[in-house]
């Protein structure tokens, strides 16, 4: 028997919230509701949800902003957008930011339940895949090797740490240190840096990095657009310490590389 999912319904229309609450509770799911972006942020600051049903046009917040914040803090949380006919193009664009799917208002209960179950199945598969890859990675590191999307190199660290020059990543605590500095990284930034540090001085494609972060393959152009702001913030944090020895560099039309030469010039 499937475990009930924890779902947050975010919509500024009370009738929509009540309808979704009743329809999904009838299938055994645990439902919380929020009538505004502020209420949604308050709940998301306290707990992780399996799924969000998110209105694209909230009274106080753009739904895409909530989507970005959710994917930044809880990458495994699935998001289904609720949208009116006039905002279909925005909903499609939001898929590039990690939304699982979108539904046109007013949606039929059967359609809602079908999309919800598909999104939850997608989440389960991704979590199982991530857990399996972590186990494989841990076993590989124990042997002094690491395999990442077809790229095999000697592991820079052992056990729960990766070391590349002055950079140390504590995989157990999700902490990053550069020299004597602690880097305040988000989950996405830490996942990016981990993938790059596992393959130092090796160019990783946009899609390879995107899959490492989001556990979902993306076309190169979409992956590049998704990664660009995170890479920019990560690079800024690395450079703000003034510690030399590594640099995050762009490989034009291909991807990114964590370069260990202190002469590296970020592009």
Secondary structure class of 70 (helix, strand, coil): helix
Packing angle, helices 63-73 and 37-44, rounded to 10:
10
Domain coordinates in residue numbering, the chain: 6-129, 148-259
- Band (187; pLDDT cuts 50, 70, 90): confident
Instruction: Tell me the pairing of strands 204-205 and 101-104.
Output: unpaired
pLDDT at 81 > cutoff 60: yes
> E strands within the chain?
6-10, 30-34, 51-55, 78-83, 101-104, 145-148, 151-154, 161-164, 167-170, 175-178, 181-183, 204-205, 247-251, 255-259
* Terminal CA-CA length for the chain: 51
| pLDDT over threshold 90, residue 45 | no
Q: For residue 76, what are the CA distances in angstroms to 165, 179, 232, 239?
A: 31, 31, 22, 29
Tell me the mean pLDDT in the region 68-86.
83
User: Which residue in 49, 39, 45 sits closest to 79, CA to CA?
Assistant: 49
Structural tokens at position 241: 């310490």
pLDDT of residue 52: 96
**Among 22, 30, 23, 31, residue whose Cα is nearest residue 3:** 30
Q: Using pLDDT thresholds of 50, 70 and 90, give the confidence band for residue 159.
A: low
Report, as an integer, the average pLDDT of 109-113: 90
pLDDT tens, position by position, 207-257: 899 888 877 777 888 888 888 888 988 998 998 888 888 999 988 878 999
Percent of the chain's residues with pLDDT above 70: 82
- How large is the average pLDDT for residues 162-176? 88
**What's residue 266's pLDDT?**
43
| Domain 6-129 bears CATH identifier 1.25.40.10 | no
* CA 238 – CA 166 distance, rounded (Å): 11
pLDDT attached to residue 125: 83
Helix (H) or strand (E) holding 39: helix 37-44
CATH code, residues 148-259:
1.10.10.10
């Amino acid at each position: 028997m499937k475990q009930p999912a924890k779902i947050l319904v975010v919509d500024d229309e009370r009738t929509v919230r009540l309808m979704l609450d009743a329809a999904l509770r009838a299938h055994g799911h645990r439902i919380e509701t929020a009538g505004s972006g502020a209420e949604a942020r308050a709940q998301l600051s306290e707990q992780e949800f399996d799924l969000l049903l998110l209105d694209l046009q909230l009274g106080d917040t753009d739904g895409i902003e909530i989507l970005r914040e959710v994917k930044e803090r809880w990458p495994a949380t699935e998001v289904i957008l609720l949208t009116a006919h006039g905002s279909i193009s925005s909903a499609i664009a939001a898929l590039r930011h990690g939304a699982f799917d979108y539904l046109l208002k007013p949606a039929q209960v059967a359609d809602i339940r079908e999309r919800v179950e598909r999104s939850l199945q997608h989440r389960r598969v991704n979590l199982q895949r991530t857990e399996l890859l972590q186990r494989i990675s841990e076993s590989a590191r124990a042997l002094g090797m690491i395999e990442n999307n077809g790229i095999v190199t000697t592991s820079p660290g052992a056990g729960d740490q990766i070391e590349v020059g002055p950079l140390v990543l504590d995989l157990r605590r999700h902490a990053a240190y550069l020299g004597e500095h602690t880097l305040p990284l988000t989950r996405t930034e830490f996942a990016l840096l981990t993938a790059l540090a596992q393959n130092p001085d090796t160019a990783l494609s946009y899609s390879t990095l995107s899959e490492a972060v989001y556990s979902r393959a993306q076309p190169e152009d979409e992956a590049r657009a998704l990664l660009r702001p995170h890479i920019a913030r990560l690079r800024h944090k690395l450079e703000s310490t003034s510690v030399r020895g590594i640099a995050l560099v762009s490989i034009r039309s291909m991807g990114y590389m964590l370069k260990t030469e202190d002469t590296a010039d970020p592009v």
